Amino acid sequence: MIERTLFSEDHESFRDSVRKFLAKEVEPHHSRWEDQGYVDREIWLKAGENGLLCTSMPEEYGGAGADRLYSVVLMEETSRANATGLGFGLHSEIVAPYLLSYGSDAQKQHYLPRMARGECISAIAMSEPAAGSDLQGIKTSAIRDGDHYVLNGSKIFITNGWHADLVIVVAKTNPNAGAKGTSLFLVDAGTPGFEKGKRLKKIGMKAQDTAELFFDNVRVPASALLGKENQGFIYLMQELPWERMQIALMAVANAQAAIDWTITYVKDRKVFGTTVASFQNTRFKLAELQTEVQIAQVFVDRCMELLEKKQLDTATASMAKYWTTDLQCKVIDECLQLHGGYGYMWEYPIAQAYADARVQRIYGGTNEIMKELITRSMGLGAG
């Protein structure tokens, strides 16, 4: 196995503390959270107490001022534990960076410290019933009315949506300008006209609250605008490489976990008087899967090196997201097969991972959209 050079000793020490936190505070409760459809709010506070939220945010805003590789460690370990109920990544490394990059000092001071402590849970509302990967097609509107904006519309598939105290809402401020008429707004839970719908029941990721959001003449002050008016689409595009890399990082970590679980299982499970691991098919299949995951890990690590240097382009990030999530689903499916009938039982982590992983090929932009973006970088336009 190729030794990873991405992390320092401090990163690996942090990894050990994350594993201990997950083993003590998350894994014993995750099954119950799946049954209830959301994690307890208390886990957010415990994560904040242990410095696991907004680690890459500056200390002046409540973060640890650490590099993003600490967040990578947290994502990888969460994925290895298959703790899919935790929405920490979206909160800390999608919502918080939008605030840090485009927010006013007042907005950052108001939200980021509470987010770092786990007191304010955040979400971002992009997808709509008729606009998923196509962000240019959103219909939610924000019309200026004096010193306020009035929001109308609905959002769907919103991670952390049911728990959220703060939502970044993507809305059209100039409906006739296409993508150039999009803006971002900070909307607090409890704002009149802002309603959370039912928690959506999903194939997998059952402990992660995912909700519909509704905006009926929601009046927010002009100060709730994040960044500049009509610049929202540009902001979204600038952050997408990192967002897609997060999905890729978690996909590889989860695929490796699936292999590790399977190795343990086939060494112990006996069929026809011998272990499943003794069959050539088992050994060769795991060798194939481990090789592909190793290749993916090297590519993803290189992408992270480029990202840290601000050199990762959108097409390469799209390649990473599409390739690793397709691979993740393939690896988990093959590993489940090696478990036999037990692989279909929910008590086994491979069964849970099988259900949880499928959405990786959809969210963050479907893999079909990723391929479209890649072809454009190759000079291949549709038609």
Q: Residue 108 is encoded by which pair of tokens? A: 């950052």
Is residue 183 within 8 Å of 230, Cβ to Cβ? Answer: yes
User: What does the alpha-carbon distance between residue 356 and residue 157 come to, in Å, rounded to a whole number?
Assistant: 15
Helix (H, G, I), strand (E, B) or coil at 235: helix
State yes or no: is 243 an active-site residue: yes
Q: Per residue, what are the HEC states of 105-127?
A: HHHHHHHHHHHHHCCCCEEEECC
DSSP code, position 221? E
Q: Which helix (H) or strand (E) holds 188?
A: strand 182-188
Q: Any idea of the CA torsion for 41, 42, 45, 50, to the nearest 10 degrees? A: -130
Q: 73-87: buried (b, 16+ CB within 10 Å) or exposed (e) per residue?
A: bbbbbbbbbbbbbbb
Q: Residue 74 is encoded by which pair of tokens? A: 């947290």
Phi/psi for 129 (5° steps) reads -55, -30
User: What does the alpha-carbon distance between residue 20 and residue 13 come to, in Å, rounded to a whole number?
Assistant: 11
User: What does the alpha-carbon distance between residue 344 and residue 341 come to, in Å, rounded to a whole number?
Assistant: 6
Q: Residue 129 is encoded by which pair of tokens? A: 């019933």
Q: Which residues pair with 158 in a beta bridge?
A: 211
Taking Cα atoms as reference points, which of 309, 310, 308, 359 lies closest to residue 332? 359
Q: Residue 141 is encoded by which pair of tokens? A: 């509107």
User: What does the alpha-carbon distance between residue 183 and residue 232 come to, in Å, rounded to a whole number?
Assistant: 4
Catalytic residue among 42, 243, 347, 368: 243
User: What does the alpha-carbon distance between residue 197 and residue 210 come to, in Å, rounded to a whole number?
Assistant: 10
User: What does the alpha-carbon distance between residue 305 and residue 5 come to, in Å, rounded to a whole number?
Assistant: 10
What percentage of the chain's residues is helix, strand, coil (to nearest 5)? 55, 15, 30
Q: Which residues are catalytic?
A: 243
